[in-house]
Copies of this chain bind each other. A is one copy, B any other.
Amino acid sequence: MGKNLDMVIELLKEKGADFFLMHSGNANFFYATKFRSSSAMFYLLGVDGTELLLLPEMELNRALRESKVKEISSYEMLGYEEKLKELKNSREVILEILIEILNEGRAKKVLIPNDFPSFFGFALKEEFDVETVENPFLKMRAVKTTSEISEIRMSCERVVAVFSETLKLIKSRSLTCEEIRSFIELELLKLGLIAEDTICVSGKLSADPHEVGRGEVEDHLLIDVFPRSRNGYYADFTRTVILKDNLRLKEMLFAVVEAQKKAISMLREGVNGREVHEAVKDTLKSYGFETKKGEGFIHSTGHGIGLEVHEEPKIGDLDVALKGGMVVTIEPGLYYRDVGGVRVEDVVLIKKDGCEILTPFERSLVL
């Protein structure tokens, strides 16, 4: 974590700030603290490198075992119970404790992430110079460590294995979308992966990229699986299976696969994600597929994946320099109301001179 903290400290210096203050309930917090709890917690990093994890007393011993943060205090150690008798509101008490800690650290300027709760943000702004910033841990998380890559690789291998079994099942008998979804999620859990809202959608409903699907399987099936391991690392994998002869769907799938191949062929350190997205758009257009009025290629090309299923970098309309160690999805799709949607998605590890597909599996699935 040493190197990572340096990056936040650099941001503090650049902004002339004394502290970075983050709240719990998000992947950045876990990344910074290596501690998970449903309790309300705060993480404070000083420009001098001092660190503090602040949490309820009943989490203290577990945090001392699990967390990597140098100093850990409980609200109770800082007068929570006496303050609660007076203020009668837990949030007000925690605010008072935060202000005391920041005053003790002689804080003048404090950085908070964009998603910091406004209750605390507004109140701290009355006491200190407070500025919202994009959470610096977001940027750090975009480039994965070796152990993170192993975690994601494992999730990806398991997803592919389960999808392979699912495909055999689909070939062998007729099931509803709900039955296929249940099969997938149960098989994933047997391998230690937790999946929710697995997309298994057929027919025209699939024209909405996030529709999970229901009922009988029609002419094609779009399956998008994005489970996470017990350690919290996601995979994200989509295949479209054409079950009945439908020329339009076949043409859409062909174009999407070609666009995905084109995008993946471009991936390496230093490439601009926006250019990858442009190439996908151009490829789909070259096969005659237009995008307008909520139809066509209506989402971005991909996104980082890790502790969140969607994280940095976004591969879309904005410039972003891809770096070795980033793990992203490449998922072109085409969606038309009169026929439905088609999408193909792989997880790809970006390397210095190219990339590695972490979810290798046949893309043109026409049964």
Contact = CB atoms under 8 A, between A and B. Distances in A.
Interface of A: 36-39, 57-62, 76, 84, 88-91, 112-122, 125, 130, 132, 182, 185-186, 189-190, 192, 194, 196-197, 207-211, 294, 298-299, 309-310, 317-319
A118 B132 contact: yes
A114 B57 CA distance: 23
Contact of A117 (B61, B114, B125): B114
A136 B301 CA distance: 38
Given A115-B118, A118-B112, A189-B186, A309 B38 contact: yes
In the complex, the count of this chain's copies comes to: 2
A321 to B, nearest CB: 14
Given A114-B117, A186-B186, A294 B210 contact: no
A208 B194 CA distance: 25
B37 A210 contact: yes
Given A62-B208, A90-B318, A116-B118, 15 more contacts: A38-B210, A39-B210, A57-B294, A60-B294, A62-B211, A91-B114, A114-B117, A115-B117, A115-B118, A115-B119, A118-B121, A118-B132, A182-B192, A186-B189, A189-B189
- Which of A90, A130, A189, A192 has the most CB atoms of chain B within a 10 A radius of its CB? A189
7 closest cross-chain pairs (CB), A and B: A118-B121, A114-B119, A116-B118, A62-B208, A115-B117, A119-B132, A58-B298
B125 A122 contact: yes
Contacts of A89: 318
A208 B65 CA distance: 11
A114 to B, nearest CB: 4
A208 B37 CA distance: 12
A207 B65 CA distance: 13
A56 B197 CA distance: 19
Nearest to A119: B114
Contact of A194 (B59, B91, B196, B294): B196
A326 to B, nearest CB: 19
A17 B132 CA distance: 25
A353 to B, nearest CB: 29
A206 to B, nearest CB: 11
A90 B62 CA distance: 38
A88 B318 contact: yes
Contacts of A294: 57-58, 60-61, 76
Contacts of A90: 318
A190 B61 CA distance: 35
Contact of A122 (B37, B132, B309): B132
Contacts of A298: 57-58
Contacts of A60: 294
B61 A208 contact: yes
A119 B62 CA distance: 32
A38 B189 contact: no
Contacts of A115: 117-119
Given A186-B190, A189-B185, A208 B58 contact: yes
A212 to B, nearest CB: 9
Contacts of A197: 36
A90 B80 CA distance: 39
A335 to B, nearest CB: 8
Contact of A299 (B58, B189, B319): B58
Contacts of A299: 58
A305 to B, nearest CB: 13
